[in-house]
Copies of this chain bind each other. A is one copy, B any other.
Amino acid sequence: MTKLSDATREKLKGVSTPTLASALYKRGMRIQMIQDVRPLSAPKNGSMVGEAYTLRYMPAREDLNAMNVFRDHSHPQRRAIEECPPGAVLVMDSRKDPRAASAGGILVTRLMMRGVAGVVTDGGFRDSGEIAALDMPSYHNRPSAPTNLTLHQAIEINVPIGCGDAPVFPGDVIVGDADGVIVIPAHLADEIADEAVEMTAYEDFVTERVRAGAKTFGLYPPTDEANLEAFSIWRRQHGR
């Protein structure tokens, strides 16, 4: 697996998921956005970035999910909390079912303390107010108070999963912002980050122009040569 470099991580913190989605779209990748998840609190300090560490849930069979299963330190959910590497993003496949929690305040607090970069589920978190107040980005579908044992049985750690209809392989680079969460295949992370930084510069230039009254034709995309020249000057002026 290609390791996520510090340089790429920094670049990705400064770009948005729409820009990344467009860069992936150009490469024929249409389903990398984790659908229908949202941040529990407004993102700050740039986008959430980290390599995916995954947890797979299956439907919880009643006889295997008494409260005491958590006494077992090898329980996959509890292991994931203690083993997800610092700087990684824990991504949970909850089969898009938010009727029971994927995790709660204590476990997510522990992730934060361990230096994990963020947590994502296509289900829901309990103690959502507490999690929203943590200093670590979190994404889910909606709050969900019932314990995960009610519907979700943790079964595997760090295998390829689906999350919100997106494919997630361990080590893929996860980026989240106000629009949601996207999955960059690991081998593309560096080139996508570079391209997104470039695109972001042009988008910022365009936004400035549009706010100054420019029309979009010829500017976005830049079919008018004059706009590319103006952009070139703008880059120098803004050091980008």
Candidates B32, B59, B165, B207; contact of A167 at CB < 8 Å: B59
Q: Is A10 an interface residue (CB 8 A)?
A: no
Chain A window 77-110, contacts with chain B (Cβ cutoff 8 Å), 1 for yes, 0 for no? 0100110000000000001001101001111011
Q: Is A228 an interface residue (CB 8 A)?
A: no
A213 to B129, CA, bound (A): 21
From A1-9, A148-156, A189-197, A230-238, give the one contacting chain B. Answer: A148-156
Q: Is A226 an interface residue (CB 8 A)?
A: no
If A58-B161, A58-B167, A160-B58 touch, whether A145 touches B18 (CB-CB below 8 Å) is yes
Q: Which residues of chain B have C-beta atoms less than 8 A from A107's C-beta?
A: 216, 220
Among residues of B, the one whose C-beta sits closest to the C-beta of A20 is B145
Q: How close is A68's CB to chain B, nearest CB, in angstroms?
A: 8
Candidates B18, B82, B106, B169; contact of A217 at CB < 8 Å: B82
Among residues of B, the one whose C-beta sits closest to the C-beta of A57 is B162
Q: Which residues of chain B have C-beta atoms less than 8 A from A35's C-beta?
A: 99
A8 to B175, CA, bound (A): 45
Contact check, A178 vs B61: say whether CB atoms are below 8 A apart: no
Q: How close is A9's CB to chain B, nearest CB, in angstroms?
A: 19
Among residues of B, the one whose C-beta sits closest to the C-beta of A164 is B59
Candidates B42, B150, B165, B185; contact of A63 at CB < 8 Å: B185
If A110-B215, A167-B153 touch, whether A145 touches B180 (CB-CB below 8 Å) is yes
Contact check, B59 vs A179: say whether CB atoms are below 8 A apart: no
A32 to B64, CA, bound (A): 13
Contact check, A145 vs B21: say whether CB atoms are below 8 A apart: yes
If A25-B149, A145-B33 touch, whether A18 touches B216 (CB-CB below 8 Å) is no
Q: Which residues of chain B have C-beta atoms less than 8 A from A26's C-beta?
A: 67
A176 to B59, CA, bound (A): 20
Q: Which residues of chain B have C-beta atoms less than 8 A from A153's C-beta?
A: 167
Contact check, B61 vs A167: say whether CB atoms are below 8 A apart: yes
21 A-B pairs with C-beta separation under 8 A: A18-B101, A21-B126, A21-B150, A25-B149, A28-B28, A29-B61, A31-B59, A31-B62, A58-B162, A59-B162, A61-B167, A61-B185, A63-B185, A67-B221, A71-B223, A78-B217, A82-B217, A106-B206, A128-B179, A143-B179, A145-B180
